[in-house]
Amino acid sequence: MTSSCTPPRTSSDAPFPPSSAELASALAGSSRLRASSARPLAQRASFAGWLALAALLLTTGCGGPALRDWGHVDAMQALVQREGGLPAPADVAAPPSDAKRMPSGLASRVLVPGTGDLHPGPHDTVTVHYAGWTTDGRNFDTSFRRGRATSFPLDRVIAGWTEGVQLMVVGERRRFWIPQRLAYRGRPGRPKGMLVFDVQLLKIKVKPSPPTAPSDLSAPPAHARVEASGLASVVLRPGGGGVHPTLGQPVVVHYTGWTTDGRMFDSSVVRGRPITLTRTQVIPGWNEALGLMVAGEKRRVWIPESLAYKGRPGRPQGMLVFDIELLALKDE
């Protein structure tokens, strides 16, 4: 579902489905599926999954209505493995007259209402179950093939998903008709033409707000510590202990970087996850600054261009300012 590729797929063979007799025996209370195949049990879907699928098929008939109950993940996975995919909806060829249409050409229809009024933003991370079809009914991907929901930032997916999922609230299931220009745009190896997705929104992780740019970006203050190299720094929060990271020692950090005109160009804080690195993997100014720090410390550093990217094209130019928080030292 990324803008450069479809969601990851499993490459293993589909498990060998049990026979009707095995399903009947299981429903009658058998403690195990009777062996009717030479394939090992490890290649079969889970016993619980087949029981759930059997119950849904017996109570709803031929599997169609079962698709409305996405809460039975084991049953959905078993259905995908049994049939090779999910059956296409009846309106896969074109959006119906009651579909909501956006100026972009995206069309959608709510299948199951959600709760609340919180919608994800364009940079938030969402957790979803989904299934996708081409307009000829081919199910080219579904999270149920893997048996688990998928999480991704909305700014890392095709445009139709970025726009469409923002219309949803948690618990909602919605069908989208995404024109090719909002999907894969005819790229080789990708599904072609208009695509149809059923999406169930399970969770929203709101992207943290960007840190406020410091007021002292243009130059280090008078009380800053200045090294012989030209690096300047101020301790914003002291750490604990006296152990400084060695050159090859992995450290866990949060950081935000600005140019002196106030532009934030990178931030692990905004991404919502720290990074692990060593002093040998970073620009010289970072290498020197980390060597001054201890675990738990937060420090602002002013890094002259000669210790940063040295004018390289495509990199932030001039002196750079970083707030670095050293979260932990790891064993080498």
Average of per-residue pLDDT values in the chain: 83
Handedness of CA 274, 280, 285, 290 (dihedral sign): positive
Domains 100-205 and 225-329 share a fold: yes
Handedness of CA 108, 114, 119, 122 (dihedral sign): negative
The CA–CA distances, whole Å, from 89 to 67, 94, 99, 139, 175 equal 9, 11, 14, 10, 10
Q: How confident is the model at residue 16 (pLDDT cuts 50, 70, 90)?
A: very low
Q: What's the pLDDT score for residue 241?
A: 84
The H or E element containing residue 287 is helix 284-292
The mean-pLDDT minimum among 38-47, 117-126, 315-324 falls in 38-47
**Per-residue pLDDT tens over the stretch 303-329:** 999 999 999 999 999 999 999 999 999
Beta-carbon contacts of 125 under 8 Å, excluding residues fewer than 6 positions away, are 151, 152, 153, 154, 204, 205, 207, 272
Tell me which of 3.50.7.10, 3.60.70.12, 3.40.640.10, 3.10.50.40 is the CATH number of domain 100-205.
3.10.50.40
CA distance 75 to 9: 19
Terminal Cα-to-Cα distance of the chain (whole angstroms): 37
Q: Whose CA is closest to 40, among 60, 13, 11?
A: 13
Place of tokens 């992207």: 207
Domain ranges for the chain, please list them: 100-205, 225-329
**Per-residue pLDDT tens over the stretch 122-179:** 989 999 999 999 999 999 999 999 999 999 999 899 999 999 999 999 999 999 999 9
Handedness of CA 208, 212, 217, 223 (dihedral sign): negative
CA distance 287 to 285: 5
Active site residues: 255, 265-266, 283, 309, 322
Q: What's the pLDDT score for residue 69?
A: 64
Q: What's the pLDDT score for residue 63?
A: 40
Higher pLDDT, 226 or 13: 226
Q: What counts of helices (H) and strands (E) characterise the chain? A: 6, 14
CATH number of 225-329: 3.10.50.40
Radius of gyration of the chain (CA): 27
